[in-house]
Amino acid sequence: MVKILLMGAQGQVGIELQHTLSSLGAVIALGRSALDLTQRQQIDQQIEAHQPQVIVNAAAYTAVDKAEAEPDLAAAINAIAPGVMAEAADRIGATLVHLSTDYVFDGTQSQPYREDSPTHPQSVYGHTKQQGEEAIRQACDRHFILRTAWVYGAYGKSNFVKTMLRLGAEREELRVVMDQVGSPTWARDIGGAIAALLQAANTSEASLYGTYHFTNSGVASWYDFAVAIFEEAQYLWFPLQVKRVVPITTAEFRTPAHRPAYSVLSTTKIAGLMGTPPHWRTSLRKMLAQWQTHQSLER
């Protein structure tokens, strides 16, 4: 049986991966309490102790704005730690799967970014994620780098969907940015894509290693996404007070970190292996139903 070492097991993607990867083998799930990614020795010790055939890194420093004030910590987790994992994976002959981001691009294109599009990150977060990618490519040939974007899920910390529902239950009016465009992506679909990618690599005679993009299909602004969240939540009888969602510009909602205006990723490459990803609105509907059930069970 394949032994899979999962880093970042308690994040919104990591929790989903615990389920999706279980069909491929035995999953050893490590969360923050079990592994400090700023400590190289701990990473090496865990990999040497478990001797996995596959390492999946779903851990990251994802506080985009906070990273501007904590560049060293962001770099330790997003840039240095993946390189350490890659070196260890290469040493024991394991495959490394690493999650990356649309923030490695500058957002100035008007057509979907391909895997070979030039990167030009505009934030500390984006720079550190790009550095992590490069460290992996240099240290380990047997790797998959999966870039994704606008991630949300029922588990883990707060995300855009949860924030909108919390604010929508408290306020009658919300102002949401309408000039940043991307593809909202459900964490469960990312987990499924990683499992499918590993399965395809296991059964194919050709080498499939390299960089891939995966998001849900379709395109939306943050404003479009917020409106859809409230429409779907209302259908499921979520408690809401919101009556108006007002579109605003990025200039009206300043943040410490620069965000790409256009971060749509081309999924043509990965679709050739596993088909077209589900539409973001379909996945949003499923996530809200999942979260509603999860909340009911916790009461």
Cite the active site residues: 125
Cα–Cα–Cα angle for 14, 15, 18, rounded to 5 degrees? 85
Nearest to 30 by CA among 294, 154, 131, 39: 39
Other CB atoms within a 10 A radius of the CB of residue 195 amount to 22
Paired tokens of 129: 């994620």
Asked whether 60 and 77 are in contact (CB, 8 A), the reply is yes
Asked whether 84 and 75 are in contact (CB, 8 A), the reply is no
Asked whether 45 and 21 are in contact (CB, 8 A), the reply is no
Cα–Cα–Cα angle for 71, 7, 48, rounded to 5 degrees? 105
Asked whether 132 and 83 are in contact (CB, 8 A), the reply is yes
Asked whether 226 and 164 are in contact (CB, 8 A), the reply is yes
Buried b (16+ CB within 10 A) or exposed e, 277-287: bbebbebbbeb
Which residues, listed in sequence order, are joined to residue 25 by a DSSP beta bridge?
2
Write the burial class of residue 274 (CB in 10 Å: 0-12 exposed, 13-18 middle, 19+ buried): middle
Asked whether 279 and 228 are in contact (CB, 8 A), the reply is no
Asked whether 152 and 287 are in contact (CB, 8 A), the reply is yes
Asked whether 138 and 176 are in contact (CB, 8 A), the reply is no
Cα–Cα–Cα angle for 13, 15, 18, rounded to 5 degrees? 110
